[in-house]
Structures are given as structure tokens and as C-alpha cells.
Amino acid sequence: MRNLISIILASLVALAAQAETPPAPELGAEGYLLIDYDSGEVLAAANADVRLEPASLTKIMTAYVVFSELAAGNIAFDDQVLISEKAWRTGGSKMFIEVGNQVRVEDLLKGMIIQSGNDASVALAEHVAGSEDSFAGLMNQHAERLGMRQSHFTNAPGLPDPEHYTTPSDIARVTAAMIRDFPEYYRWYSEPEFTWNEIKQFNRNRLLGKGVGVDGVKTGHTQAAGYCLVSSAKRDGQRLISVVMGTASDSARVADSLALLNYGFRFFETHHLYPAGEPLELLRVWSGDPPTVEVGPAVDVAVTIPRGSFDQLSAQLEPISELTAPVAVGQQVGEIALLLDGEEIKRQPAVALDAVERGGLLRQAADSILKLF
């Protein structure tokens, strides 16, 4: 009897694994997006490329610019920032810095990230670029470099402006870039509180510390933008990023974000197939010395697929029709095609891992004859 029960349970598990992935939850947000951080694949979306007001989600880009300046050595954590009247007067959420005082860059960053201080955002912008307008220019330069094609920024905190907009897709893009490029600073997004000027303020992200794997990222709210939340969560080695914009309340943005994350973790799994630069195959190089070249992926190859379908996954290298010397390191020489149950789901470039010089006259003549046959 026990064996029969075990067989039935195993059959049910197998059938569940083969079952079609259900549709994503329907949310009340104006726009939303759920992506896998490692593969970049979209797991759920609605109006993901529609321009929306970001409110304080803007501060993700503001922080990215400041982190970039720190990495370049243009500013330092211990820099003392003289607080201007403009920064002090900035409305909305505040760190409560005071005009004429000097505040360290590190403290301003914590005030912006943890407390969502608009005043701290302006002070950092002025320190980095001399003025908030110039800093907005840097924000737009980084946005263009990151491929945020539907974004334009006019201020550092995210205050309402007709020319200040982004999309769920673009916000997910800068969030992923921030986690990837500045992991040492990303930890601040999980800090539950920060005290400045004897005023303790708590992180507005109510998914932190709830046992659901969320370790960031940012809330936002204005009357025009509604309630927004970017969340990043990691469970069993898989990281997802959800973007929810334009909900009706704080509780709605929390519920919608949790619904997206639970859906992604429950029904999808991510596999890291090949690291960048790993040799996958030797390709023939006509007139080359040597006559072959090792080929591998240009970037890490990761794929997100329905949970339980890994045994249906396959990969194949598709070289260009003919490869002739010389070949440079990093030159694209083919594509890696990933297939699930025989259907293509993703392609990534395959590149030469070594240089191949043109061979001598004898090699070229021999290969010319071989080509004829």
C-alpha cells in the first residue's frame, strides 16, 4: 500500500512539473515588471515600456551616479558637503540636514537611501556636479549608456516635472546595474533605519525583514505618481527584481510586489549554463594559423525556465557559415541557441577566445583547394 501511495505521489509530482505555467497575477498598478536578475528574462509585465512618473524611484539612478563618481575617485565618503539653502528647502521627505552645516557624503547617501531624503539627494547632486541641473545631465548620460531609452531626468529626488519620467523596464535596468556594479553599496538598501540630527527614520520598504528574501530596493510616492516600489529578493540562489508603479496605496504596492515575487519564485528557476569565456567548441578557420579557434560565450549564459523543465533544455552552437583568418579575440563567430523542448527561447553571441593570424601562402593555397571539395 505504501509503495502504491509513493508511486501515485511521484506521478502527481511529475505531472505538476510538466503542467503549463499559469499566467502572472493581475495587478492594479499602472505598470509593473518582474525579471530574473541573472538571465534578464521577463517573467511578468504590463505597461512595462510606458512612460510613468517615478517619484523617489529616481533616487536609484541618483545613487548609481554617486556610486560611479566614488568608484572613479572623483569624490570620497569622507568629503564634507556644505549644505546649500536649496538643498535645505527641498520639499517632501527629508533627512533634516541644516543649511550651512557640513555633512559627510556617506551620511548623505544613507539619508537618501534609507530615509529617502530629498534634501540629501540635492546636496549630493550639488557636490558631484556643482548644480542639480548639471547632475541631471549626468543622470541622463548614464541612462543612455545603460540603454534606458524611455527615461529622462530633470532632478535628483524625483519631484514632479513633465520632463521627468521613466518606465518599469528602465527602472529595472538601472536597479540590476546597481546591484551588479556596486554590490558593496547595495547592502545599505536593506538597512531598517538611520538616525541623523537625533531623528530616527525607518526604511519605507515594508517587505524588508519579512522573511521573503527581500533585501532592497526603493519606495516612491507622489500624488501624480501614486505608490511605487522596486523590490529585489533572493531565494535559494535565484534573484528576482520587481517594479510596481502607480498603485493606489502603500499596502497595494506591497501586496502587488509580493504577488509578483512569489509567482516568479514558485513557477520559474534559473540555471547558470556557461560562464563568459568558457571554451565550448573548436571551429575551423580557413587560411588560419592555427587552423582552429576555441569559441565561447561573450557573457555569462543564464536562462530562466518553468520550474521542473530542466531536462527539456538543450543548447547548440551555430557558427557563421565560413570563418576566414585573421580572427581577433572577442570577434563574434557564431551564436549559442538555447532550446526548451525543441523550441528556441534565447540566443547569445559566441566569440573567438584566441586570435588567429593569416597563415602562409602554403596554408592559404591548401585551404583554397580544400574549399573546392
Which of 39, 84, 116, 121 is catalytic? The answer is 116
Whether 59 sits among the annotated catalytic residues: the reply is: yes
Catalytic residue, chosen from 39, 59, 218, 257, is 59
Q: Give the integer Cα–Cα distance in Å for 257 and 242.
A: 6
Estimate the crossing angle of helix 58-71 against helix 118-129, to 10 degrees. Answer: 40
SS (H, E, C) 188-248: HHHCCEEEECCEEEECCCCCCCCCCCEEEEEEEEECCCEEEEEEEEEECCEEEEEEEEEEC
Strand-by-strand arrangement of the 214-222 sheet: 42-46, 31-36, 238-247, 226-235, 214-222
Whether 213 contacts 233, CB under 8 Å = yes
For helices 168-181 and 132-145, angle between their N-to-C axes, nearest 10 degrees: 90
**Rg for the chain, CA atoms, rounded:** 25
DSSP 33: E
Q: Is 56 a catalytic residue?
A: yes
Q: Which one of the listed residues 56, 68, 121, 287 is annotated catalytic? A: 56
Active site residue 116: yes
Residues labelled as active-site residues: 56, 59, 116
